[in-house]
Amino acid sequence: MSIRITPVVAGRTQAGTRTDFVKTVQVPPLGDVAAPIASLAHYVVTAPMVGPRLEPGLSSVTYVLRNSQAGMRSRDSLGNDLVMRPGGLVWTQGRCGIAHEHLPAEFGRELSCLQLHVHPGFTRTGPVHLVHRVEPEQVPEWRSGSGDCVRVVAGTYGGQASPMAQTHAFTLLDVNLRSGVYFDVAAGHGTVVYVFAGFALALTGSHLVRLEPGQAFALHNSRGNGLLQLVGSGHLLVIDAPAASSPLRQGSERARSGGAGVNPRTVRAESLLEPATAF
């Protein structure tokens, strides 16, 4: 069978205060094939919950949800310091490690955003350091006659294309599901679906999966043209990209080649990024 799927994975919630929390989903590999992302974190915060982070080899993709009350301030050790409004995206690629921090642009107002960590096997080509942004008004939308809406934050869908310049294929779709939508899954690609609210039934190959809020699953299409159908009513995210080697396999390859990089145990993010001050 050309399509394999992971079990449904529920996010783990870490509460910072009575109102602030982060829900994290660790996406498991399928044998020696990894999903397009290593992890997914959904933040709902009114103040910073964590300090600057340094994640060598990972790309950080942060998307501010359209229903967020506040914009997001994004800072990094390259000197970028910007505010992204609800509906926009910041992509930080640092194969040698970039310290970065994301926090509410207005303390006390609720920031709702999603942070994806893209596998190093997927981002090992292209520039060593790269920061892209897509403003909310630049994101095209596809709509069906049944009321479904797909925002094409990165990549392409339904004849619509995101303006984000990419060094490799990566699709990020913000879906408001009212009836049903279809997605092509190319051979060699992996796809992740995450549900924010409502529910979705995912049909692919001979598999049927039901997803509730805070749940995700991944699939991999090894050959031929695959199809993913989502039906239901809810708010969800769809991520698609060429599949990467699993983290275990990447680790063995780096060991054989004496791979270089930044050791997170020896470099602290705080040493690369000054403490934040109010605008």
Q: Tens digit of pLDDT for each residue in 1-21?
A: 589 999 999 999 887 666 788
* Residue pair 195/214 in contact by the 8 Å Cβ criterion: yes
Distance CA 182, CA 230 (A): 6
Instruction: Tell me the per-residue pLDDT of 89-102, one tens digit each, with 9 for 90 and over.
Output: 988 776 556 676 77
C-alpha distances out from residue 114 to 65, 87, 90, 197, 278, Å: 7, 11, 11, 14, 23
pLDDT number for residue 97: 61
| Class of domain 9-262 as given by CATH | mainly beta
- Identify the residue with better confidence: 103 or 120: 103
Q: Is the pLDDT of residue 175 over 50?
A: yes
Distance CA 44, CA 111 (A): 6
Whole-structure pTM value: 0.81
